């Protein structure tokens, strides 16, 4: 059982690993790719000590498909990777969603397209939030901005995965994964070992055999299945998470997520000290997107600027959320470079001044 | 006829009493039956977790009375690995066709064998992609006409048919690998014995169990069931020799 209140000085990747084990992780399947190697390395050493299974798979394809098996058997299971590896996992993620199986997938987003670079980027936002694999499905997506959030959100990810019987993605990058910060561990409520007994495969004894599948060939059955999935996604939309910082009297709200949200926070602090009325809205759930909360701010007459570490992806969700009232400016910080709070000063001031 | 033969037998508890969807003369049904009988005879029905794959056998989960999960095309060995790691106390069985196992799923089958994952895989080799309409498979034989090798498979362009039982036997974690055929009663009896061995190495915790079944696909071979059985005998068995290629139980 995870210790309560222990203060550790660790990397985001290690916080994710520790959080997952605290949440009752039983099976981890991985494949090396920078910048997430700390996770499989940690798991290989630590997971067996608590009776869990670690497999270094032959590929990301295999690792993600191992999740299907472990999830079908009802175990808390996880894989982690970075952009090109996550592309390979998409087939299995689509099957997990289609088969209604719970699993956690970590993507420490790096630069792309193609092989790109190994530095931080937010180029996988579309892939993470719009499905990524084939078919009508969504993955719950949580975006940590601090090492503490890495720890806390991965714990929440397992609960959400089982609550909705759906894959949950943790979307980070090299900034949040590689930086070290103090993390306070917490005692995690031991999850019910009987979790999933009503659907998991465990041997057909004294009941009809169970089939976990995503194939629905008889007329109308796929439509019914997709309707059930949609109802689930509608329900997820009720519990979005976000951080609001200095938004109350702000004239301009900057919308930014993950490590960029955190860097923007520093910029906002600095500009506030200079008397500028700016604030930050940092979505923590990227899917479902916190549209309602953003819409409330739009109704208050705020201006918006979306800042991302890409060429403009989340800005589409921001615009959808506020489109009946106003619009958002966009500033994209090119992947391939590492931003500092100063890099965001000029675009924020420009947006504030309406130029 | 003076003598009346009464054909009556008990249905194994692992077999669901429903008609199957296979073409006349297709031996997937025979393979299912053998698997179901063995699960019943070995007392494994309630403890089996089945992984089904893509191909004509995709509906196996409707025919075996065991809990099951469906794998994407080729990935059944990875899915089976996940199942076994999560439930080491269960008997894990997987079932794949030749397109599924030897083409798209080549990496997964190699590595499950090499890791010595304690699962059993039934591999149905009918030298063709059945479900998608008879395209060339990795096991399609030299000169064999398929919809994507209309002039017959040319080894200079398309390579030779892959012999899986031999390859799997080479890998470190394999405890049992054998090839059998389903073309006549004698061979079917032998097939059942070999399948039993493949199941037993899992039960004994010795490693990975692999069983290749030479089977017919009369529809895509454009043959009658009888002609198809003859082809197994005259063409397939000479190229895909029957036999046990690895048996860890023989070594102890
Ligand atoms: C990723 C992917 N590619 C292709 C297919 C299409 N597909 C369905 S069954 C099949 C061939 C199966 O052939 P085999 O494994 O030999 O089994 P058989 O039908 O002969 O029993 C293919 C290619 C698929 N379902 N998924
Ligand atoms: S197409 Fe071939 S493998 Fe498929 S059911 Fe018909 S005979 Fe069997």
**For B143-185, how does the pLDDT look when each residue is reduced to its tens digit (9 = 90+)?**
999 999 999 999 999 999 999 999 999 999 999 999 999 999 9
Identify all chain B residues contacting A95, using CB atoms and an 8 Å cutoff: 70, 72
Is the confidence at residue B28, as pLDDT, over 90?
yes
Which residues are CB-neighbours of A13 under 8 A, at least 6 positions away? A35, A36, A38, A39, A42, A108, A150, A177, A178
β partners of residue B122: B95, B211
B82–A92 CB contact, under 8 Å: no
Q: What is the pLDDT of residue A239?
A: 86
Q: In what order do the strands lie in the sheet with A278-283?
A: A242-245, A278-283, A252-255, A303-308, A328-332
Shortest-distance atom of ligand 2 to CA B23? 6
How far does the CA of residue A204 sit from the closest CA of chain B (Å)?
5
Tokens 């299974």, located at residue: A53
B78–A69 CB contact, under 8 Å: yes
Q: Which ligand is nearest to the Cα of residue B55, counting in written order?
A: 1
Residue pair B248/B158 in contact (Cβ under 8 Å)? The answer is no
Judged by DSSP in three states, A144 sits in coil
Identify all chain A residues contacting B68, using CB atoms and an 8 Å cutoff: 201, 209-213
- Which is nearest to B84 in space by CA: B124, B41, B120, B128? B120
Cα–Cα distance between B199 and B211 in angstroms, integer? Answer: 9
How many residues make up chain B in this entry?
Answer: 252
Cα–Cα distance between B86 and B75 in angstroms, integer? Answer: 17
Shortest-distance atom of ligand 1 to CA B103? 15
Q: Taking CB atoms and an 8 Å cut-off, how many pairs form between chains A and B?
A: 137
Q: Pick from B22, B29, B54 the residue to mutate for probing ligand 1's pocket: most ligand atoms within 8 Å of its CB.
A: B54
CA of B103 to the centre of ligand 1 (A): 10
**Against a cut of 0.90, is the pTM above it?**
yes
Q: Pick from B127, B129, B216 the residue to mutate for probing ligand 1's pocket: most ligand atoms within 8 Å of its CB.
A: B129
A99–B70 CB contact, under 8 Å: yes
Q: What is the pLDDT of residue B1?
A: 44
Mean pLDDT of the region B103-127: 98
Q: From chain B, which residues contact A within 8 Å (Cβ)?
A: 16, 45-49, 51, 58, 61-62, 64-72, 75, 77-87, 90, 107-108, 110-111, 115
How far does the CA of residue A58 sit from the closest CA of chain B (Å)?
7
Mean pLDDT of the region B62-72: 98
B86–A214 CB contact, under 8 Å: no
Cα–Cα distance between B110 and B104 in angstroms, integer? Answer: 12
Helices and strands in chain A: count of H runs, count of E runs: 12, 15
Residue B242 is encoded by which pair of tokens?
Answer: 């029957």
B85–A66 CB contact, under 8 Å: yes
Query: E-assigned strands of A94-246?
Result: 103-109, 140-142, 167-173, 180-184, 211-212, 242-245
DSSP annotation string for A48-60? GGGT-EEEE-SSH
Cα–Cα distance between B235 and A116 in angstroms, integer? Answer: 50
What parts of chain A have a pLDDT lower than 50?
1
CA of B127 to the centre of ligand 1 (A): 13
Closest Cα to atom 8, ligand 2: which residue?
B26
Mean pLDDT of the region B69-87: 98
Identify all chain A residues contacting B94, using CB atoms and an 8 Å cutoff: none
Identify all chain B residues contacting A96, using CB atoms and an 8 Å cutoff: none
Mean pLDDT of the region B118-122: 98
Q: What is the pLDDT of residue A1?
A: 47
Cα–Cα distance between A276 and A249 in angstroms, integer? Answer: 10
Helix (H) or strand (E) holding B181: strand B174-181
How many residues make up chain A in this entry?
Answer: 355
Helix (H) or strand (E) holding A23: none
């Amino acid at each position: 059982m995870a210790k309560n209140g222990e203060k550790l000085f660790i990397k985001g990747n290690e916080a994710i690993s520790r959080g997952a084990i605290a949440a009752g992780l039983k099976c981890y399947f991985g494949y090396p790719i920078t910048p997430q190697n700390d996770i499989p390395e940690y798991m290989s050493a630590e997971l067996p000590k608590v009776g869990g299974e670690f497999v270094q798979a032959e590929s990301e394809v295999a690792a993600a498909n191992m999740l299907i098996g472990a999830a079908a058997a009802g175990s808390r299971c996880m894989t982690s990777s970075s952009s090109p590896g996550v592309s390979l996992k998409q087939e299995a993620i689509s099957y997990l969603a289609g088969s209604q199986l719970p699993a956690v997938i970590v993507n420490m987003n790096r630069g792309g397209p193609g092989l790109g670079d190994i530095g931080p980027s937010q180029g996988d936002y579309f892939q993470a939030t719009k499905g990524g694999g084939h078919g009508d499905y969504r993955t719950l997506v949580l975006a940590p901005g601090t090492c503490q959030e890495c720890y806390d959100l991965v714990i929440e990810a397992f609960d959400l995965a089982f609550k909705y019987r759906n894959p949950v993605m943790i979307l980070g990058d090299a900034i949040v994964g590689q930086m070290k910060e103090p993390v306070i561990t917490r005692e995690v409520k031991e999850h019910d070992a009987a979790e999933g007994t009503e659907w998991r495969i465990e041997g057909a004894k004294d009941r009809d055999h169970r089939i976990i599948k995503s194939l629905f060939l008889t007329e109308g059955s796929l439509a019914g299945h997709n309707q059930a999935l949609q109802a689930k996604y509608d329900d997820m939309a009720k519990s979005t998470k976000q951080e609001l910082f200095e938004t109350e009297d702000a004239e301009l709200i900057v919308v930014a997520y993950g490590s960029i949200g955190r860097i923007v926070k520093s910029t906002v602090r600095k500009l506030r000290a200079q008397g500028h009325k700016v604030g930050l809205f940092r979505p923590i759930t990227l899917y479902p997107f916190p549209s309602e909360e953003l819409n409330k701010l739009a109704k208050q007459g705020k201006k918006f600027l979306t800042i991302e570490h890409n060429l403009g992806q989340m800005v589409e969700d921001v615009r959808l959320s506020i489109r009946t009232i106003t619009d958002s400016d966009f500033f994209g910080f090119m992947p391939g470079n590492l931003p500092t709070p100063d890099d965001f000063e000029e675009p924020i001031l420009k947006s504030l001044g309406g130029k | 006829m003076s003598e009346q033969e009464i054909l009556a037998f008990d249905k194994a508890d692992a077999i669901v009493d429903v008609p199957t969807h296979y073409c006349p003369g297709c031996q997937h049904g025979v393979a299912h039956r053998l698997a179901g009988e063995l699960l019943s005879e070995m007392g494994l029905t309630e403890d089996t977790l089945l992984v089904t794959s893509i191909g004509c056998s995709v509906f196996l989960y409707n025919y075996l009375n065991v809990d099951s999960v469906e794998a994407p095309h080729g990935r059944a060995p990875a899915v089976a690995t996940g199942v076994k790691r999560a439930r080491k106390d269960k008997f894990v069985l997987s079932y794949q066709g030749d397109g599924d196992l030897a083409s798209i799923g080549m990496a997964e089958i190699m590595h499950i064998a090499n890791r010595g994952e304690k699962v059993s895989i039934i591999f149905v080799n009918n030298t063709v992609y059945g479900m998608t309409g008879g395209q060339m498979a990795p096991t399609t034989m030299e000169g064999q006409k398929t919809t994507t090798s209309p002039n017959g498979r040319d080894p200079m362009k398309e390579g030779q048919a892959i012999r899986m039982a031999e390859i799997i036997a080479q890998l470190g974690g394999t405890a049992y690998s054998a090839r059998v055929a389903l073309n006549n009663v004698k061979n079917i009896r032998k097939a059942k014995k070999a399948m039993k061995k493949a199941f037993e190495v899992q039960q004994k915790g010795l490693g990975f169990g692999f069983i290749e079944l030479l089977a017919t696909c009369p529809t895509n071979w454009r043959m009658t069931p009888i002609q198809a059985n003859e082809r197994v005998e005259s063409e397939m068995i000479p190229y895909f020799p029957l036999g046990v290629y690895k048996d860890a139980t023989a070594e102890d």
